[in-house]
Each structure stands twice: as C-alpha cells, then as structure tokens.
Amino acid sequence: MTKRGEMSNSVRQPDPEVMADARRLAAAGAKLEMVLVFLREKGFNKIDSIKTIRPLYGFSMHEAKDVIDSSAAWSDHFYSDMQLRETALRALRDIAAENAKDPNALKITFTEPDEPED
C-alpha cells in the first residue's frame, strides 16, 4: 500500500489466464489482429498487449509496438498517441535548448528521431 502521492515500485503484470488464452488462440491459428482484439476486450492496455504478443510471435519490443500502433484493434488511440509523442519531443527540445544556455545545468543532447521512409 502506498501513501497518496507516492509511486509504487511494483509493476502490474498482465493477467496470466488471459495471456494463456491468447496463446491458445494463436496456436489454434487465429490471426494476430484477432488476438489483439481479444486482448483489448479482456481489458489489456497497449503495454500489456505488447508484453503478450512479443513471445507469441517472436517480435522485438520495437516490432511489437509497431504492430500494436498500426493495428485496427488500437486504431482509435493512434492520433492521441502521436499527439502525446509530439508534445514530449517538443518538451525535450525545449529543455535541451534551455539547459544549453546555462553553463551549470545538466547538458542534454537531443537527437531527432529518424524520419519514416515513404
């Protein structure tokens, strides 16, 4: 139990029963999109879904995230997720620029993400 305002050090794990059901679905030949819809209907968030599909399909973290981001099951979150990422990138750029002006501040090097190829 944590006090108000404190963060817990425990990491919530996805429901193992739902993960087992997802494994059975995949083993029975269900398409990846169907597995993602199943996970979402069972209350899994994007992170839980990534944790579940990585071992099922042998995806790297980056591949699993890309699959989730481009899936129909999570398409309603895509726009807000992109807005959040852009806001975070802007904030990082601003912090790096502000710290560059102060010789006593921690120096932050910010590398722009690669642009996707068309």
Rg of the chain, C-alpha, whole Å: 19
Alpha helices (H) along the chain: 16-27, 32-41, 46-57, 61-70, 75-101
Q: Return the SS3 of 55.
A: helix
pLDDT in tens, 49-59: 999 999 999 99
pLDDT-derived band of residue 1, with 50, 70 and 90 as boundaries? very low
**Over residues 84-91, mean pLDDT:** 87
pLDDT at 2 over 70: no
Using pLDDT thresholds of 50, 70 and 90, give the confidence band for residue 116. Answer: low
1 by DSSP, 3-state: which?
A: coil
Lowest-confidence segment of 6-10, 103-107, 113-117 by average pLDDT:
6-10
**Distance of alpha carbon 61 from alpha carbon 36, whole angstroms:** 16
Spans of all domains in the chain: 14-73, 76-118
pLDDT at 115 over 70: no
Q: Which pTM was predicted?
A: 0.65
